[in-house]
Amino acid sequence: MNLQNYLQHLLEQRQQDNLYRTRLTHENTHTPMLTIAGKTYLNFCSNDYLGLANHPRLVDSLQQNVNKYGVGSGASHLVTGHSDIHHEAEQILAEFVGRERALLFSTGYMANLGIVSALLKRKDIIFSDKLNHASLIDAATLSPAQIQRYRHNELEHLQHLLAKSSAPHKLIMTDGVFSMDGDLASLPELVKLAKMHDAWIMVDDAHGLGVLGKNGRGMLEHYQLSQDDVPILMGTLGKALGVFGAFVAGSELLIDALIQFARTYIYTTALPPAIAGAVITSVDIVQKESWRREKLQESIHYFRHIAQQRDIPLMDSFTPIQPIMLGTADKAMQASQQLKEKGIIVTAIRPPTVPQNTARLRITLSASHEKSHIDKLLDSLANIW
Ligand SMILES: *Cc1c(COP(=O)(O)O)cnc(C)c1O
């Protein structure tokens, strides 16, 4: 088939299924506000959970480091792209999450691909939660290892699969906080299972880092799990930390192996050094401004409390991710459009991002939301219901 005809067919199908994606183009963002076509909206779907993306100290740090290092890193880490400030950011991240060593990656997506490609071979096996983030699914799919998907957080199912496997290396991988549902992986139990079956465990803490734990060290601080319990930790820097990029943390040997074998680390340009500098500043803010986590938790409680009073159906989540399940893609699109008309942006999340018939509004709260913003959201939601 002619390429143009083929593309036309693909896109028409996407539109018919109500799954066609468009991009909201904004002129300005200052969490929690977004300006689109000259109009200001309240944003309830960003991952800037602590409201750091516009923090004056971060902006200042980035500017100063651009003055010192320039913009681009100029090469990959193994050629000449690795600067002292990348190195320092890695040390600070390792210390922050209580691991021996950390390694910066350009994105979380690439970090997940890199871990799996570096560690697993053809006879090995990956156990993956069915609701894991797309980047973990892709990491598994692109690796030569076998894949077994276990039902979401169902440990008995996982145990059954683990017991049946005689693969030389077994890797359990899971989101820490599930990105579209907001619930937590049952990590302490997963860690026990991993130990019992001689499996490795990897946690993607994209939505826990900065948010969970007294000091914002994430899911593993929340559950008090050590490097020995969870040997492979991935964290992203573009969500609660408000910057960009990602890292993997673990033992010296793990990081050394990733430097040698993770193709998404080796064959790509290093992050701009000034970004690494901003990460250092962000880790400092995350620890010093603990009021942001406290305010966020208060907002989550408040939102849930009032939503329940108004019969707005919530899911079982105490994280900033507060989805409202609508079922069909049409319903989710309609609700999102109605909110937009009321000055609120919450994008509809549809398949294949989530399973069939679980399209939803994925509301996210941020420390930058004030009570009046949440009231406006609740009023608008109640109105739509
Ligand atoms: C956002 C996200 C990623 C990808 O991180 P990026 O740095 O944005 O590429 C990976 N895993 C989860 C669970 C995420 O939510």
pLDDT tens, 246-288?
999 999 999 999 999 999 999 999 999 999 999 999 999 999 9
Which ligand 1 atom is nearest residue 237's CA?
A: 7
Which 3 state secondary structure label does DSSP give 369? coil
Q: Known catalytic residue: 239?
A: yes
Structure tokens, 123? 């006879």
Determine the distance separating the centroid of ligand 1 and the alpha carbon of 149, expressed in angstroms: 19
Mean pLDDT taken over the chain = 97
Question: What integer is the mean pLDDT of 113-137?
Answer: 97
**Rg of the chain in Å (alpha carbons):** 21
Residues 321, 290: contact at Cβ < 8 Å?
A: no
Which 3 state secondary structure label does DSSP give 364? strand
Portions of the chain given CATH number 3.40.640.10: 56-288
Return the percentage of the chain with pLDDT > 70, whole number.
Answer: 100
Query: Is the pLDDT assigned to residue 316 strictly greater than 80?
Result: yes
Q: Over the range 209-239, which residues count as b (16 or more CB within 10 Å of their CB) and which as e?
A: bbbbbeebbbbbbbbebebebbbbbbbbbbb
Contacts 24+ apart (CB under 8 A), 79-84: 81/269, 81/270, 82/270, 83/270, 83/273, 83/276
- Assign domain 56-288 to its CATH architecture: 3-Layer(aba) Sandwich (3.40)
Determine the distance separating the centroid of ligand 1 and the alpha carbon of 252, expressed in angstroms: 24
Portions of the chain given CATH number 3.90.1150.10: 20-50+290-384
Structure tokens, 21? 């994606």
Determine the distance separating the centroid of ligand 1 and the alpha carbon of 291, expressed in angstroms: 25
Q: According to the model, what pLDDT value does residue 377 have?
A: 98
Reported as a pLDDT band with limits 50, 70 and 90, residue 28 is confident
Determine the distance separating the centroid of ligand 1 and the alpha carbon of 236, expressed in angstroms: 6
* DSSP conformation class of 289: -
Q: Known catalytic residue: 192?
A: no
Please give the model's pTM, rounded to 2 decimal places: 0.96
Q: According to the model, what pLDDT value does residue 104 have?
A: 98
Q: Which of 236, 237, 247, 279 to mutate to test the pocket of ligand 1 (most atoms within 8 A of CB)?
A: 236
Name residues contacting ligand 1 (CB within 6 A).
107-109, 133, 135, 175, 179, 204, 206-207, 236, 238, 246
For residue 80, how many other CB atoms are within 10 A of its CB? 11
Q: Which of 49, 133, 138 to mutate to test the pocket of ligand 1 (most atoms within 8 A of CB)?
A: 133
Distance CA 226, CA 374 (A): 36
The CATH code of domain 20-50+290-384 reads 3.90.1150.10
Distance CA 385, CA 309 (A): 13
Query: Is the pLDDT assigned to residue 94 strictly greater than 90?
Result: yes
Query: Is the pLDDT assigned to residue 385 strictly greater than 80?
Result: no
